[in-house]
Amino acid sequence: MKLFNYHISMAVAVVLLGACHKEETVHVSARKEYISQPITSDTLTGAIKGTLLGGKTYYFSRDIIINEGDTVLMQEGARLIAIGDGKTAETSPQVTCNGTFISLGTAGHNNFITVPEELRTTANIGKGFWGGIQCGATSGDVILKWTHIEFAGGPAGAAPDLSVFKPKDPRNCLSYTNINGNFIMEDCWVYGTKDDGMRILHGHVSVMRNTFEACGLSGGEAFNLKNGCLGDVAYNLVIGAATNGFKVSNSGDGPVQTKIYLYNNTILNCGFRQQKTGRGGSINYEKNAQGKIYNNMIINCKYGLRLTPDADMINTAYNHQFFYANDPRLISEFYASDGKGVAQGADVRSATPKANNPLFATYDVNQFDYMTAGTLTLDISQMPIGIINAQAYDLSLLPGSPALLKGDADAFKAQRTVPQGGAYGASTLNPNTDMGAYPTNGPGNLHKVSSISVKWN
């Protein structure tokens, strides 16, 4: 695994030597140094490198490129604003990353990669105003902390990388493809994308405590992992994804089998915009992917845990899921009927509609009754904003919740396949004895409002 050392100024040197799974071999690349240079122009185009300064707003209406060997770092409170219309590749600019991209927002000073403030509305979910962040196969690491990434998905051009897109396909909000690289994402928001929120085709990952809202207009996952992905995905909130909250697959070329530990996530109201039979819901493992799936809360999703017949069932372990539904059709698919998964002894499930209410602090799981909807294939216009948008919800667990102390914190530890600690490393958490992304007895997701509730200007 290649570990990068980042030197953002001559005075500050940060060395990242992360803990890796004991079964993996660590290959440390030659040390690379990057010298910060402030980016002062507020209008960006073409190749860029250096530091996007905290408190400053930058605009781009044409593609911007981080060349191989270069680094762009966003300081806390920096804003990168796309000017596009989502109609063509040329009018939907993207960030092309062949180098290293780092966004270091903080809880007090979030970073934004989004569109002008007046366009940050629920009416523009799925418009795909810009082309997202598209990383090449030999790019450096991508590190995102406390960053809002919104309204991406403009169409690909006539000659895209066919391993990622076909011409005119909506682009992912972010694509990462370096099998030797590190993708670290913590405490971020992904909002209103036209297709996948994040698609990691290859690489080492740690994805902790993020919120994915309204990802996919008529299809697309909130978070999609492909061949050669190794790492941990935990304490994330997904609400209102078109297809799955998380799709884990070993599809694609590469010598490394996908192995993802997926635990302590909270997934609400997903799968209803996907029209294909058997597709769409919450957690999907397929095509020889393996991993561990524990302590997740799956609430009113079209399908629950789906382990397809071609998943690596021998090397996949799962238990301690929380399932809730207010419709018997959803209850019957807590374990997808076209999959190999079966109910486990430590699961907590609604036996009848509305039984075992999870008792979230301020979120009403019955604000939308799926029995009254008739069809379970719903256009986004048929879905109230309250079930695809995190708004001002507090999804922590109240006293008496049936999800308290029903998780398993001892079945495994996080893989930790990426560098840990410091400004540029991950803070990968282990499983918790409470279920879901908001445990009461340890660190978890800190978000209590929707991405678009936080203003950038």
Along the 457 residues of the chain, how does pLDDT read in single tens digits?
A: 344 444 443 333 333 333 343 333 333 333 343 447 999 999 999 999 999 999 999 999 999 999 999 999 999 999 999 999 999 999 999 999 999 999 999 999 999 999 999 999 999 999 999 999 999 999 999 999 999 999 999 999 887 777 788 888 999 999 999 999 999 999 999 999 999 999 999 999 999 999 999 999 999 999 999 999 999 999 999 999 999 999 999 998 788 999 999 999 999 999 999 988 777 789 999 999 999 999 999 999 999 999 999 999 999 999 999 999 999 999 999 999 999 999 999 999 999 999 999 999 999 999 999 999 889 999 999 999 999 999 999 999 999 999 999 999 999 999 999 999 999 999 999 999 999 999 999 899 999 999 999 998 7
**End-to-end Cα separation, the chain, in angstroms:** 39
Cα–Cα distance, 234 to 227 (Å, whole number): 19
Q: Provide the 8-state DSSP code for 333.
A: T
Report whether 142 contacts 418 (CB < 8 A): no
Cα–Cα distance, 405 to 439 (Å, whole number): 9
Residue 332 CB coordination number (10 Å): 13
Residue tagged 């893989």 (tokens): 415
Query: In sequence order, which ranges of 306-435 are alpha helices (DSSP H)?
Result: 328-331
Tokens of 302: 């079209």
Report whether 346 contacts 320 (CB < 8 A): yes
- Residue 147 sits at φ, ψ, to 5 deg, of -130, 135
Task: Report the relative pairing of strands 182-186 and 203-208 from DSSP bridges.
Answer: parallel
Nearest to 335 by CA among 363, 313, 357: 313
Tokens of 141: 């690491």
Write the single-letter amino acid at 35.
I
Burial 64-85 (b: 16+ CB within 10 A, else e): bbbeeebbbbbbbbbbbbbbbe
Residue 306 CB coordination number (10 Å): 26
Cα–Cα distance, 367 to 369 (Å, whole number): 6
Report whether 151 contacts 124 (CB < 8 A): yes
Q: Map residue 393 onto helix, strand or coil.
A: coil
pTM > 0.85: yes
Tokens of 82: 């796309």
pLDDT for residue 442: 87
**CB-based contacts of 306: which residues, under 8 Å, 6+ apart?**
244, 278, 281, 282, 283, 284, 285, 286, 335, 336, 338, 339, 341
Tokens of 277: 């039979």
Report whether 69 contacts 101 (CB < 8 A): no
Cα–Cα distance, 425 to 88 (Å, whole number): 36
